[in-house]
């Protein structure tokens, strides 16, 4: 089992560019999450999904969109990247709501 | 108010000694869950240990134990017999309610194990 994987590991964007981060899990988990981690702060929830075809906003959703077309995949999109979105992005999944979340390795994104 | 507070930005411990990482939480829910994660320099978040608010016993997982003091709203992580590989960032997190969708994370404690 690969667990939770994220693509890409690193990315540099210019302001205004768009990109999509891919998260995949092979644990058959229903719930998936996107977090961002900034220096000196804990992880903050961006969006989450409680099942295929469903998404919901977390604590810091502005500037991001997500989609969950397949149970095993959860995509995070930035339509027009801003320097404030420079961060490390983590995807996580859990078998049920409130259960332990298992994290991917993270994507380090820099927006110039 | 912060949901999770970790007041120790950095800690040092001698190899083979025990160390306690502090975590206090703020919630009005009666049912909640507390988690500890480890983040080594490679960056991944590794789940260590879980404590439910109704669990009567302190959680233990190998060398990790959680010192849960409900009245004080603290959930300190104790690592016994520290190893060099324990050097990492450690994050405390809380889930409110039995099925809360969001985990609230603290700002982390950087632990360095000295040989």
d(CA B52, CA B59): 9
- Is residue B57 classed exposed, middle or buried when 0-12, 13-18 and 19+ CB atoms within 10 A define those classes? exposed
Q: What is the mean pLDDT of chain A?
A: 93
**Res A42: pLDDT:** 85
> Which residue does chain B place closest to A45, by CA atoms?
B102
Q: Give the pLDDT of residue B79.
A: 98
d(CA A51, CA B55): 29
Distance between CA atoms of B40 and A93, rounded to whole angstroms? Answer: 20
> How many whole angstroms separate alpha carbon B68 and alpha carbon A86?
36
Return the structure tokens found at B45: 């978040």
How remote is the C-alpha of A107 from its chain's centroid? Answer: 9
B41-45, B68-72, B90-94: range with lowest mean pLDDT? B41-45
Q: Are B1 and B27 in contact (CB under 8 A)?
A: no
- A19 at the B interface (CB within 8 A)? no
- Asked if A92 has any chain B CB less than 8 Å from its own CB, the reply is yes
Mean pLDDT of B45-62: 94
Contacts of residue A46, defined as CB under 8 A and 6 or more positions apart, other chains included, come to A34, A35, A36, A58, A59, A60, A61, A64, A66, A76, A89
**How does strand A31-37 pair with strand A19-25?**
unpaired
Other residues' Cβ atoms within 10 Å of the Cβ of residue A3 = 14
Per residue in B73-114, pLDDT (tens digit) is 999 999 999 999 999 999 999 998 766 677 899 999 999 999
Q: Which of B24, B33, B41, B43 to mutate to test the interface with A (most CBs of A within 10 A)?
A: B43
Of A1 and B37, the structure prediction assigns the larger pLDDT to B37
* pLDDT recorded at residue B101: 72
The residue-averaged pLDDT of B14-30 equals 96
Average pLDDT for residues B30-52, to the nearest whole number? 93
**Residue numbers in A near B4 (CB within 8 A):** 42
- Angle (CA) B2 B101 B71, round 5°: 45
Name every residue whose Cβ is closer than 8 Å to that of residue B57 and which is 6 or more positions away in sequence: none
Condensed to tens digits (0 to 9), the pLDDT of residues A37-73 reads 998 888 999 999 999 999 999 989 999 999 999 999 9
- Give pLDDT, residue A98: 77
A48, burial (CB in 10 Å: exposed 0-12, middle 13-18, buried 19+): buried
Mean pLDDT value across chain B: 94
pLDDT value, residue B102? 76
What is the residue whose two structure tokens read 């240990």?
B49
Q: Which tokens go with A51?
A: 């099942």
The verdict on A26 touching B (C-beta cutoff 8 Å) is: no
Integer angstrom CA distances of residue B85 from A103, A109, B50, B55: 19, 27, 21, 29
d(CA A80, CA A98): 32
In chain A, what residues touch B102 (CB-CB under 8 Å)? Answer: 45, 48, 58-59
pLDDT beyond 90 at A96: no
């Amino acid at each position: 089992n690969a667990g939770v994987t994220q693509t890409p590991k690193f990315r540099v964007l210019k302001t205004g560019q768009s990109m999509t981060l891919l998260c995949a899990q092979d644990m058959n988990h229903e719930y998936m999450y996107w977090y961002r981690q900034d220096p000196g702060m804990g992880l903050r929830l961006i969006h989450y999904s409680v099942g295929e075809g469903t998404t919901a906003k977390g604590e810091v959703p502005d500037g991001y969109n997500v989609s969950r077309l397949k149970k095993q995949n959860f995509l995070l999109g930035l339509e027009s990247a801003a320097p404030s979105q420079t961060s490390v992005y983590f995807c996580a999944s859990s078998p049920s709501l409130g259960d332990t979340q298992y994290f991917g390795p993270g994507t380090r994104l820099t927006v110039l | 108010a912060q949901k999770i507070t970790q007041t120790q930005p950095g800690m040092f411990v001698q190899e083979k000694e025990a160390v306690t990482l502090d975590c206090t939480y703020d919630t009005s829910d009666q049912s909640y869950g507390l988690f500890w994660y480890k983040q080594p320099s490679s960056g991944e978040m590794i789940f260590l240990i879980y404590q439910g608010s109704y669990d009567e016993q302190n959680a233990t997982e190998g060398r990790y134990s959680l010192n849960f003091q409900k009245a004080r709203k603290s959930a300190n992580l104790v690592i016994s017999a520290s190893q060099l590989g324990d050097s990492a960032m450690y994050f405390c997190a809380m889930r409110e309610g039995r099925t809360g969708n969001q985990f609230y994370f603290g700002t982390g404690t950087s632990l360095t194990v000295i040989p």
